[in-house]
Amino acid sequence: MRLFLFVFKRNLLILNFLDFIIATACFVRFFLPYFFDEDLKMETRFARITTPVPGPRSIELMQRKKAAMPHGAISNLPVFIKKADDFLLTDVDGNVFIDFGAGIGVLNAGHSNPKILAAITRQVQSFTHTCFHMAMYEPYIALTEKLNNLTPGDSPKKTYLVNSGAEANENAVKIARRFTGKSAIVAFEHAFHGRTLLALSLTGKVSPYRQGFGPMAPEIYHLPSPHRSNSGFLQPPESTNYDAGFIAEQLKTVVPETDIAAFIVEPVLGEGGILPCDQKYLDALFDFSRSRGILIIADEIQTGWGRTGKLFAMEHFGYEPDILVTAKSIASGLPLSAVVGKAEIMDSVQPGGIGSTYSGNPVACAAALAGIDFIVENDLAGKAGKIGSITREKLASLVENHKNIVDVRGIGAMNGIEFVVDKTSGKPGTEIVRAVQKICWENGLVVLKSGSHGHVIRMLPPLTISQDGLREGLEIFTAAVQKL
């Protein structure tokens, strides 16, 4: 017995000693840097990072994710969120981040907006689903009326609701084909229109979206991007005269113009690198299309609801598209999207030709009605303009002063910072952007990336962000790029 007690106590001692060694190693590896690295200790009012990023609880959940989910479904920020409030995200380890991603442009009206939450709660307490195609409800109608009134242009319009951006784009294509009786759709290189197979076929970026998923849907064609960057990363094909003849010339080796039902265009490239369409190119495109009975579909999924400084980005260019597709911030995080089109185009589809079980789910409609009112009443488009000027003013000098930054650009609160490996080669700074993102996370700022080479940091903060919150986020970003 005495021998047993002796062995037991010794083992206990050894175990305690091992625990002690492991705890000390963790402390030195993860926590000590925060006490000694002056840059990491930047005074922050909103962001609060108290563990390594990801913290222990997030790491645990990440292991469960790895085991339970396919590798193809990734997440950018390596933490799990417990709570979100206005422009702040709190993770399961208690770290607080300033959110410059807004769920990829979905939370224009801010996370957990009380007015929207109240509308959602009211609707949930009445009913959550009937399937509109089986039994109808008023919020759907009220929302379509609102969309018909708020989208650009004076033409009488009609709206159909679906669930995601991709699904809305698919419906826009079907409707354009039905109305024109033609089948070809022309999209643009570098564009992003979604991941379902027809939407993916429209998307003009190969990796990682298209690899191994072919064949793509037929009768989809791509022209070079009509978007223009100061850095030279993207330029529309050069011409001294952007006119209908120029577009006809572009199509000569692509598809007969008589086969084209519609062009689909993002007025400002989101996923493609934050680049507005060249105005003269767009003029030529509208001129060409109008004279040939071809429709223009504006994909305003990312640019809508005040993001660019106007309610819809097409307002910057002075055009009414034939069909406008909107999603993301339409319902502040609930799955909803809409196809808004000129009435005669939308009415060309036979009864039952468009439909979906969850089309215009009543809870999502309630969120959208409250969210849109909030966006309009609080002039979030105007606020986006201010966010944009502060952002670009604060970051502009980096183009001259930072070895890896070649462009700071944007429109409203949709801003991008383009990175290169070095300014002589101009090679896209894909790895550098990854590093910047990581340093930002570690210091409490969530930023997205974009661009076909993943070499552009994308900033899409909620439009409700306070000036102090915005400035703090920009300071974290500036400090992060100084650490490269």
Ligand X SMILES: Cc1ncc(COP(=O)(O)O)c(C=O)c1O
Please tell me whether residue 443 binds ligand X under the rule CB under 6 A.
Answer: no
Please tell me whether residue 123 binds ligand X under the rule CB under 6 A.
Answer: no
Which residue's CB is nearer to ligand X, number 166 or number 275?
166
Name the minimum Å distance from CB 40 to ligand X.
Answer: 32
| 7 Rama class: left (phi>0) / alpha (psi -120 to 50) / beta | alpha
Name the minimum Å distance from CB 327 to ligand X.
Answer: 5
Name the minimum Å distance from CB 358 to ligand X.
Answer: 13
**Which residues, numbered 231-250, are part of the site for ligand X (CB under 6 A)?**
none
Please tell me whether residue 302 binds ligand X under the rule CB under 6 A.
Answer: yes
Name the minimum Å distance from CB 265 to ligand X.
Answer: 10
- Interface pick for ligand X out of 101, 194, 306, 385 (rule CB under 6 A): 194
Name the minimum Å distance from CB 194 to ligand X.
Answer: 4
- Interface pick for ligand X out of 299, 322, 418, 442 (rule CB under 6 A): 299
Name the minimum Å distance from CB 58 to ligand X.
Answer: 24
Please tell me whether residue 266 binds ligand X under the rule CB under 6 A.
Answer: yes
- Which amino acid belongs to residue 309? G
Name the minimum Å distance from CB 200 to ligand X.
Answer: 10
- Which amino acid belongs to residue 462? P
DSSP 3-state of 180: helix
Binding mask 91-120 for ligand X (x = CB under 6 A): -------------x----------------
Report the DSSP beta bridge partners of residue 262. Answer: 185, 295
Which residue's CB is nearer to ligand X, number 49 or number 447?
447
Name the minimum Å distance from CB 302 to ligand X.
Answer: 4
Please tell me whether residue 193 binds ligand X under the rule CB under 6 A.
Answer: yes
Cβ pair 165, 337 in contact under 8 A: yes
221 phi and psi angles, rounded to 5 deg? -125, 155
- Interface pick for ligand X out of 277, 301, 330, 417 (rule CB under 6 A): 301
Name the minimum Å distance from CB 45 to ligand X.
Answer: 31
Which residue's CB is nearer to ligand X, number 113 or number 164?
164
Report the DSSP beta bridge partners of residue 410. Answer: 415
Tally DSSP H helices, then E strands, for the chain. Answer: 17, 17
182 phi and psi angles, rounded to 5 deg? -115, 165
Report the DSSP beta bridge partners of residue 342. Answer: 157
Please tell me whether residue 40 binds ligand X under the rule CB under 6 A.
Answer: no
Report the DSSP beta bridge partners of residue 263. Answer: 186, 296
24 phi and psi angles, rounded to 5 deg? -65, -40
**Segment near ligand X (CB under 6 A); pick from 28-36, 88-96, 170-178, 296-304:** 296-304
Residue 409: in which H helix or E strand, if any?
A: strand 405-411
Cβ pair 260, 227 in contact under 8 A: no
- Which amino acid belongs to residue 139? P
The pair of structure tokens assigned to 280 is 């003269």
- Which amino acid belongs to residue 104? I
CA atoms within 13 A on the CB side of 113: 28
Which residue's CB is nearer to ligand X, number 180 or number 303?
303
Which residue's CB is nearer to ligand X, number 94 or number 103?
103
Name the minimum Å distance from CB 268 to ligand X.
Answer: 9
Pairing verdict, β 184-188 and 260-265: parallel
Cβ pair 371, 103 in contact under 8 A: no
Residue 374: in which H helix or E strand, if any?
A: helix 362-377
Cβ pair 336, 330 in contact under 8 A: yes
464 phi and psi angles, rounded to 5 deg? -90, 0
**Segment near ligand X (CB under 6 A); pick from 33-41, 237-245, 298-306, 345-353:** 298-306
Contacts of 111 (CB under 8 A, 6+ apart): 84, 85, 86, 87, 88, 89, 99, 333, 462
Please tell me whether residue 270 binds ligand X under the rule CB under 6 A.
Answer: yes
Can you tell me the distance from the alpha carbon of 400 to that of 368, in angstroms, rounded to the nearest whole number? 42
Binding mask 151-190 for ligand X (x = CB under 6 A): -------------xxx--x---------------------
Residue with nearest beta carbon to ligand X: 165
Please tell me whether residue 338 binds ligand X under the rule CB under 6 A.
Answer: no
Which residue's CB is nearer to ligand X, number 255 or number 274?
274
Please tell me whether residue 321 binds ligand X under the rule CB under 6 A.
Answer: no
Name the minimum Å distance from CB 214 to ligand X.
Answer: 19
- Interface pick for ligand X out of 93, 99, 271, 320 (rule CB under 6 A): 271
* Number of residues binding to ligand X, judged by CB under 6 A: 15
44 phi and psi angles, rounded to 5 deg? -130, 140
Name the minimum Å distance from CB 27 to ligand X.
Answer: 41
Strands ordered across the beta sheet of 405-411:
405-411, 414-419, 456-459, 448-450
- Interface pick for ligand X out of 192, 263, 317, 477 (rule CB under 6 A): 192
Residues within the interface to ligand X (CB under 6 A)? 104, 164-166, 169, 192-194, 266, 270-271, 299, 301-302, 327
